[in-house]
Structure 1
Amino acid sequence: MWEIKDIIMNIGILDIIDITIVAYAFYKLYMLIKETRAEQLIKGIFVLIVSTKVSEYLQFHVVNWVLKNTMQIGVIAFLIVFQPELRRALEYIGRTKLIARPIGEFENEDIDEAIEEMLEAIFSLSRQKIGSLIIIERETGINDIIQTGTIVDGKITRQLLINIFIPNTPLHDGALVIKNNRIKAAGCFLPLTENKYLNKELGTRHRAGIGITEKSDCISIIVSEETGDISIAENGKLYRRVSREYIQKILKNNLKKQNENKSIFKRGGLFK
């Protein structure tokens, strides 16, 4: 009891800062793995650690030996099995404002016009029940995805967006990628999500839209060809049957935020 009291009395400002940094880091780590396969793995590792300590305390030497060796192998298994989650975490760190590079920004005067053109096209496709998948690149580059499709490099207009997704046309069966305020490519192939808990009624288009957001920070906008419902995927999560106002808010919040970051880099604001 006195030892705990002495520790508390000797805590200084640097100790508090140290504890706060560690607590924040663990919180952000938890938010990254929340509702993913890694969350279950962390729980399993915690159980193994507790079991190892208990077996050591009870002097169960054989059990303790097995558990310790399992932990060593488990570290290698963690790196192999959960490579996508680790990659996502590292990309998240790389997108911090101090070192993020401005990719996929919109010119300020074109933002509202581009958003309006996208909204008109998306809801026209929805009314006609024409399936479509639009990917908007943000800070994480997805040139590897762009290279799988056909380069368009055209201005964002509702006519071009709608025309690309018309059934039985060469580019309709794939994803369209928007980058730097341009329709960069169409007919692109995307990785499918590995999430096994998704609704079984979701098809390949929705699974592809979610999959690319698990590997980058892009936004996916999906129109269902069966129902005409519009969904948005971001950070590996799908938001279904979204309204026009919701989509407009998401696009403005993200695209204008990118433009502000771009202005900081142009002025050298972070390094002056």
Structure 2
Amino acid sequence: MISNFFNLFKLSTWEYLMDSLFTVSTLIHLLDILVVWYVIYKLLSLLNSTKAIQVFKGIAIIIVIRIVSDFIGLNTVSWLMSQVITYGAIAAIVIFQPEVRRGLEHLGRGSMLRTSSKTVNYQEKLIDDLDEAIQYMSKRKIGALICIEKKESLKEYIDTGISLDANISNQLLINIFIPNTPLHDGAVIIKDKKIASACSYLPLTESSKIPKEFGTRHRAAIGLSEMSDAVTIVVSEETGGVSLALRDNFLPHIPRERYLAVLNEELVVPKIEDKKNALQQLLDAMKNSPKGGA
């Protein structure tokens, strides 16, 4: 009798929990919580390794003080913290301006908001020219910064430099970066299989994880990889080492085989043979089939 009672109690409790959990209202609340946690996670990821993370920690401490002071009855402290939180939103926009801009740019580059996209199929000749220029400059420790535009436009950075619109060749790339020449300082940007500009300025990363051994060229390459999908090549003028930055990743001091593999993977789109539809295949089969005798 008691066993049956407990079994009935368990069954009714389980059914009650299932009915309570799997309702439209509960699922909406669960979705709301997941969205908030995702936003917080992305915010922390965005602020990680930047100076702004310290300010964010300060704001978190103020919120904790506000909650604790309200709980134990420190009304004056609670009121002061409330004022700081209320007017801190405006201050946060000013303080976090670079991070806010970066976050909005990431949002604007999202696939849901992207109205059009392009894929430039850079040929193997570009890889060969880049390789010859890189090898020449690396052996002679000539500093270089070369960016290749992919789907996302680099026009705002092209406009900061000197327009060239020149055909790509390893000789031209080498001559641009020869020290003490007018165009050697800044970045070369390649767009639509041409050298769009030289002496362009790129955004510097604010990440604190970058070792101090890397200079302005490397920080600029990483900064551009945080803002776009471009592939950026850096040749160090101190060591002659070759580094790549792409998709918010930094590959320092990589060998020739590695950077060639990455460049071929990122820039050369494999050709795909056109596939005929079923109707066209049927028509071709009928055309090519032998005609039967009478």
TM-score range, shorter chain: 0.7 to 0.9
Aligned residue number for residue 136 of structure 2? 124
SS at match of 1:56: helix
Pairwise CA distance, 1:102: 5.1
Q: Tell whether the 8 Å contact from 2:183 to 2:199 is kept in structure 1 after alignment.
A: yes
Pairwise CA distance, 1:252: 4.1
SS at match of 1:73: helix
Distance in 2, Cα, partners of 1:223 & 1:99: 35
Q: TM-score, normalised by structure 2?
A: 0.72
Within the candidate set 41, 62, 76, 1:48 is matched to: 62
Specify which structure has the bigger relative contact order, considering alpha-carbon pairs within 8 angstroms and separated by 6 or more residues: 1
Q: Tell whether the 8 Å contact from 1:148 to 1:189 is kept in structure 2 after alignment.
A: yes
Count of residues paired in the alignment: 254
Residue range with higher mean Cα deviation, 54-63 or 228-237: 228-237
Identity %: 41
Does structure 1 residue 202 correspond to structure 2 residue 218?
Answer: no
1:152-231 equivalences under 5 Å are 152-195=164-207, 198-231=210-243
Q: Alpha carbons of 1:119 and 1:29: their partners in 2 closer, same or farther (altered >3 Å)?
A: farther
Pairwise CA distance, 1:85: 1.0
Deviations 1:78-135 (A, max 9, x none): 111211111111111111223325567413xx34332333233223211221110112
Distance in 1, Cα, partners of 2:231 & 2:170: 18
Q: Tell whether the 8 Å contact from 2:221 to 2:232 is kept in structure 1 after alignment.
A: yes
Deviations 1:108-167 (A, max 9, x none): xx3433233323322321122111011223444332321222212123332222222122
Q: Tell whether the 8 Å contact from 1:103 to 1:141 is kept in structure 2 after alignment.
A: no
Q: Tell whether the 8 Å contact from 1:105 to 1:181 is kept in structure 2 after alignment.
A: no
Aligned residue number for residue 280 of structure 2? none
Within the candidate set 75, 100, 104, 1:86 is matched to: 100
Within the candidate set 112, 122, 125, 1:98 is matched to: 112
Distance in 2, Cα, partners of 1:95 & 1:253: 22
CA RMSD of aligned residues (A): 3.2
Q: Alpha carbons of 1:26 and 1:213: their partners in 2 closer, same or farther (altered >3 Å)?
A: same
Deviations 1:165-192 (A, max 9, x none): 1223331222101122221111223344
Q: Which amino acid is the alignment partner of residue 62 of structure 2?
A: L
Residue range with higher mean Cα deviation, 155-164 or 194-203: 194-203
Distance in 1, Cα, partners of 2:21 & 2:198: 62
Q: Tell whether the 8 Å contact from 2:120 to 2:150 is kept in structure 1 after alignment.
A: no
SS at match of 1:222: strand
Deviations 1:235-267 (A, max 9, x none): 66643212334323443444468x99xxxxxxx
Distance in 1, Cα, partners of 2:95 & 2:249: 21
Q: Alpha carbons of 1:215 and 1:131: their partners in 2 closer, same or farther (altered >3 Å)?
A: same
Q: Tell whether the 8 Å contact from 2:224 to 2:230 is kept in structure 1 after alignment.
A: yes
Pairwise CA distance, 1:52: 0.8
Pairwise CA distance, 1:59: 0.8
Distance in 2, Cα, partners of 1:91 & 1:68: 31
Distance in 2, Cα, partners of 1:72 & 1:234: 39
Q: Tell whether the 8 Å contact from 2:138 to 2:240 is kept in structure 1 after alignment.
A: yes
Q: Alpha carbons of 1:195 and 1:19: their partners in 2 closer, same or farther (altered >3 Å)?
A: closer
SS at match of 1:185: strand
Residue range with higher mean Cα deviation, 13-22 or 168-177: 13-22
Deviations 1:181-240 (A, max 9, x none): 221111223344444564333333333333444444433321111110112234666432
Q: Alpha carbons of 1:27 and 1:193: their partners in 2 closer, same or farther (altered >3 Å)?
A: closer
Does structure 1 residue 242 correspond to structure 2 residue 254?
Answer: yes
Aligned residue number for residue 264 of structure 1? none
SS at match of 2:244: strand
The answer for unaligned runs of 5 or more in structure 1 is: 261-272
SS at match of 1:232: strand
Q: Which amino acid is the alignment partner of residue 187 of structure 1?
A: C
Q: Tell whether the 8 Å contact from 2:204 to 2:220 is kept in structure 1 after alignment.
A: yes
Q: TM-score, normalised by structure 1?
A: 0.77
Q: Which amino acid is the alignment partner of residue 122 of structure 1?
A: I
